[in-house]
Structure 1
Amino acid sequence: MSSSAFQKEIDERTNLTSSNKFEMLLFRLGKVPGTQQAELFGINVFKIREIVAMPQITAMAGAPKHVLGMVNLRGQVIPVIDLPAVVGCVPETGLNLMLVTEYARSTQAFAAESVEDIVRLDWNQILPADHTASVARGMVTSIARIDDGQGDTKLVQILDVESILQRVMPNEQLEVKQDQVGPKLRLPPGAVVLAADDSFVARSMIEAELKALGLPFIMTKSGQEAWATLQEIAADARAKGQAVAERVAVVLSDLEMPEMDGFTLTRQIKADPALRAIPVVIHSSLTGDTNEKHVQRAGADAYVAKFAAKELADVLRRVLASSAETMAA
């Protein structure tokens, strides 16, 4: 592929963010013991740096469970996680491929059996996986419904990679400590932070940080749920003759979420005259200049990469101070 064609492909993919769409890589990890099923799993293409045939892996002394070892990929040493073992699958043909991913400014690889396809989906095809058995183990954020072209619907499990990484390779730096976030903040009486994230681990960490900052909050699991909550608050505020910004001090949103993504949530907030004064902070593991530019075009007031407690606290402090000055003017 020529560089111009490659750039065109990137541009087309990133432009999907303006229409609540995204592309998902479908892959298989093997069969579930006791069944003949080799289920489909998915991951946002934006998080895939590359897919390579499984290279020679160097074992790591004292490696955590499910870490196969490390590989040298063009001068970068990265850990390789046995993803089938993590989710309880057994590959039939072996660990043939390595999915190299970028999460929260870190690089790691996941072993997989096979890659099936890349599909273009609307986020409203993605449903929260609240009631699946896997969710209790913190493995799956959502379920994608895909038409197989023969009148049937395939279900794809979208893995909570953030949770898996924290389980397999716990990062103590992700713990929220009071000395990191600084002094507590104070909101006007009745005001809250409205947060949205589909990852159990992310929600837990956001809640810990907001509590450390002394900020009251409402936590939601998707952009759609956050939008519905915002509409309810707005209706109540109007009935009481209040501005919505007096009730919602800031919206803190992930980008990848079922039903409605963070790009769409941000655009809808900023397009509504009654809501646009509310600051929107994007908090996402989808890092990189391209995504940050799209966040800016959507109208967000700030962007913070997961999971940096001090950076998030600093941004919230700055955005809230700026908003208070605007409302007082």
Structure 2
Amino acid sequence: MTGVLNTVDQRTKLVGENRLELLLFSLNSRQLFAINVFKVREVIKVPPLTKLPGTHYNIKGVATLRGTAVPIIDLRAAIGFPPSRLDKPEENLIITEYNRTVQGFLVGQVRNIVNTTWSDIQPPPKTAGRSNYLTAISRIKDGDGEQIIEIIDVEKVLAEIIDYDVSISEGVLDEDLTAQMIGRKVLIVDDSSTARSQVRGTLSQLGLDIIECCDGLQALRLLQSWADEGRDVTQELLLMITDAEMPEMDGYKLTAEIRHDPRMKDLHVVLNTSLSGSFNDAMVKKVGCDRFISKFQPDLLVEVTQNRLKTVLGID
């Protein structure tokens, strides 16, 4: 797998075209799981791990990679399977960057990368229940016919290990704006229920009305329906906060569609994603987002929302 991630610069061209590439791996038997290539730094064999006392039970230990201590999460155990065994030769580490942190996921065999489109990525079936660890599923063809790929909700896995605090730091909230916040609407678009909960938990403290959509296509249809009814989308919403990666339509494509519709082109769009900042800065300019912030930063979410309200009210 050493060369499989060497063309990431070329792959950035896929984003904004509603396309993505998935890194496939196994956790148990033949079932395939996946995460987005853009969140993967490298794939390596398991180095020696140091167990630290008091760490979460799904953290196998810490690996020292290029002088940096990286926590290693047993992904198999984290999503409800029996724990991994480090003595098995097929075990690998996927080193990732999420929410401005680096961590490794202990998995089984790493297969390959597949190029696909977000329109071919579907939400998990409702019969999977609310406690599943999937954001989406897809299908690929292999030698044995068609196979289902399960895309892991890494946001949920990390939230169960890391305590994400939704409280707002002292001094961040502008008391002069408090009354003006109450009742204004914010649209949150994210396929991860955990991520939506984090944003909702932060912004609801401001008295805002939160509207939620699970993917870009659902959000676009909602906005289009409002416009078809003659409602002014930019008056209805203070802003929209959207994830980048979502089934059916990603956040980049959603933003591009909004900008091309004169009825909603002035909607304030904030990209809120766990993908790397340097990559998203370029994508923000390409598709026309107003702001990019990386997950999960409650104080920054509040600041961005307050700044938008100040603009609406004409306050410097």
Query: Normalising to structure 1: TM-score of the pair?
Result: 0.86
Aligned to 2:43: 51
- Alpha-carbon shift at residue 139 of structure 1 (Å): 0.9
- Alpha-carbon shift at residue 155 of structure 1 (Å): 1.0
- Alpha-carbon shift at residue 165 of structure 1 (Å): 1.0
Aligned to 2:130: 136
| Contact 2:242-2:271 within 8 A present in 1 as well | yes
Are 1:153 and 2:142 an aligned pair?
no
> Are the structure 2 counterparts of residues 78 and 199 from structure 1 closer, same or farther at C-alpha, using a change threshold of 3 Å?
same
- Alpha-carbon shift at residue 95 of structure 1 (Å): 6.0
Q: In the TM superposition, what whole-angstrom CA distance separates every residue of 1:92-111 from its partner, at most 9, and x where no partner exists?
A: 94562101010010001010
Q: In the TM superposition, what whole-angstrom CA distance separates every residue of 1:151-189 from its partner, at most 9, and x where no partner exists?
A: x4321111111110111x2324x3234747514363597
> Are the structure 2 counterparts of residues 196 and 63 from structure 1 closer, same or farther at C-alpha, using a change threshold of 3 Å?
same
Aligned to 2:63: 71
Match of 1:30 among 28, 31, 40: 28
Aligned to 1:113: 108
Letter in 2 for 1:26: L
Q: In the TM superposition, what whole-angstrom CA distance separates every residue of 1:234-259 from its partner, at most 9, and x where no partner exists?
A: 122x1xxx532111221110001010
Q: In the TM superposition, what whole-angstrom CA distance separates every residue of 1:107-130 from its partner, at most 9, and x where no partner exists?
A: 010101111110011001111115
Aligned to 1:35: none
Q: Separation in 1 of the partners of 2:198 and 2:125?
A: 19
| Contact 1:185-1:317 within 8 A present in 2 as well | no
| Contact 2:79-2:157 within 8 A present in 1 as well | no
Q: Separation in 2 of the partners of 1:63 and 1:180?
A: 32
Residue 127 of structure 1 aligns to a residue in which SS? coil
| Contact 1:143-1:158 within 8 A present in 2 as well | yes
| Contact 1:186-1:215 within 8 A present in 2 as well | no
| Contact 2:95-2:103 within 8 A present in 1 as well | yes
- Alpha-carbon shift at residue 272 of structure 1 (Å): 1.1
Are 1:265 and 2:254 an aligned pair?
yes
Q: Separation in 1 of the partners of 2:131 and 2:172?
A: 29
Q: Separation in 1 of the partners of 2:150 and 2:9?
A: 27
> Are the structure 2 counterparts of residues 52 and 267 from structure 1 closer, same or farther at C-alpha, using a change threshold of 3 Å?
same
Are 1:176 and 2:174 an aligned pair?
no
- Alpha-carbon shift at residue 209 of structure 1 (Å): 1.5
Are 1:244 and 2:233 an aligned pair?
yes
| Contact 1:140-1:159 within 8 A present in 2 as well | yes
Q: Separation in 1 of the partners of 2:257 and 2:216?
A: 10
- Higher alpha-carbon deviation: 291-300 or 46-55: 291-300
Aligned to 1:83: 75
* Aligned-residue RMSD, C-alpha: 2.3
Gaps of 5+ in 2: none
| Contact 1:255-1:261 within 8 A present in 2 as well | yes
- Alpha-carbon shift at residue 315 of structure 1 (Å): 1.1
> Are the structure 2 counterparts of residues 185 and 219 from structure 1 closer, same or farther at C-alpha, using a change threshold of 3 Å?
farther
Match of 1:205 among 176, 198, 207: 198
Letter in 1 for 2:301: L
Match of 1:224 among 207, 217, 233: 217
Letter in 1 for 2:180: R
Greater fraction helix: 1
Residue 126 of structure 2 aligns to a residue in which SS? coil
Q: Separation in 2 of the partners of 1:176 and 1:260?
A: 31
Query: Normalising to structure 2: TM-score of the pair?
Result: 0.89
| Sequence identity percentage | 34
Aligned to 2:288: 299
Letter in 2 for 1:293: A
Q: In the TM superposition, what whole-angstrom CA distance separates every residue of 1:181-209 from its partner, at most 9, and x where no partner exists?
A: 514363597x5211101111111111112
Letter in 2 for 1:109: G
Q: Separation in 2 of the partners of 1:121 and 1:114?
A: 21
Letter in 2 for 1:28: S
